[in-house]
């Protein structure tokens, strides 16, 4: 009975509220500067946190959302043709899917894309180079980090003039309303390595 109660308490602490989701989508919309004339890709399933930010971020801005199922499309070329046909301006995917699609572009440029948003796994410097090769000057590249418990915590923005150091893309700075820091084994704030701690400022 005690174990059941403890598990229930943990579940309650991890539940999302409508207020949390609205604030999260609002923060995402503002950070990406989503506008009514934007067209967003939607690759994630509806129950996944990455889809929540795209669905409600688009709704809050009056933008258009285009669900794309890569399995049903049948090929990477079919997906790329849809991206071009719909004039997708904000492309959001995992680095693996981004890499898979953009490596098929050859010499083509996705001229309508103004923002590539990656998250869910490590983004590589080679991914950033794919962005620079296939997206127009003036477009932005964003790498995000969001643990399951908080969904969105850090964002890193880069443009064609950015020069990365190393083989991975940084995860950037804390989003509006969050404070992110590292704790050592004694629970003290440290600058080098430790457990990631995310604190809401609201």
> So what's the pLDDT on residue 2?
46
- Beta-carbon contacts of 142 under 8 Å, excluding residues fewer than 6 positions away, are 32, 115, 116, 117, 118, 155, 156, 157, 158
> So what's the pLDDT on residue 156?
96
* The residue to which tokens 């079919």 are assigned: 78
> So what's the pLDDT on residue 16?
67
> So what's the pLDDT on residue 10?
46
Q: What parts of the chain have a pLDDT lower than 50? A: 1-4, 6-8, 10-12
pLDDT tens digits for range 54-94: 999 999 999 999 999 988 887 899 999 999 999 999 999 99
> So what's the pLDDT on residue 14?
55
DSSP per-residue codes, 95-161:
HHHHHHHHTT-TT---TT--EEEE-SSPPBHHHHHHHHHHS-TT-EEEEEE--TTTS--EEEEE-TT
> So what's the pLDDT on residue 136?
96
Would you say 103 and 130 are in contact if contact means Cβ atoms under 8 Å apart?
Answer: yes
Q: Please tell me whether residue 200 adopts helix, strand or coil conformation.
A: strand
């Amino acid at each position: 009975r005690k174990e059941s109660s403890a598990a229930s308490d943990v579940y309650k602490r991890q539940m999302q509220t409508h207020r949390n989701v609205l604030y999260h989508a609002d923060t995402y919309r503002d950070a990406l500067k989503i506008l009514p004339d934007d067209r967003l890709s939607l690759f994630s399933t509806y129950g996944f946190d990455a889809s929540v930010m795209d669905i409600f971020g688009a709704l809050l801005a009056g933008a258009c959302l285009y669900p794309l199922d890569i399995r049903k499309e049948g090929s990477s070329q079919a997906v790329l043709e849809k991206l071009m046909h719909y004039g997708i301006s904000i492309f959001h995917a995992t680095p693996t899917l981004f890499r898979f699609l953009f490596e098929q572009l050859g010499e083509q440029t996705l001229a309508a894309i103004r923002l590539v948003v990656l998250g869910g796994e490590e983004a590589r410097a080679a991914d950033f180079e794919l962005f620079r090769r296939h997206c127009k000057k003036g477009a932005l590249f964003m790498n995000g980090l969001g643990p399951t418990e908080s969904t969105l915590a850090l964002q890193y923005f880069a443009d064609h003039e950015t020069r990365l150091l190393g083989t991975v893309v940084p995860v950037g700075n804390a989003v509006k309303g969050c404070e992110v820091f590292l704790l050592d084994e004694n629970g003290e704030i440290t600058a080098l390595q430790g457990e990631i701690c995310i604190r809401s400022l609201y």
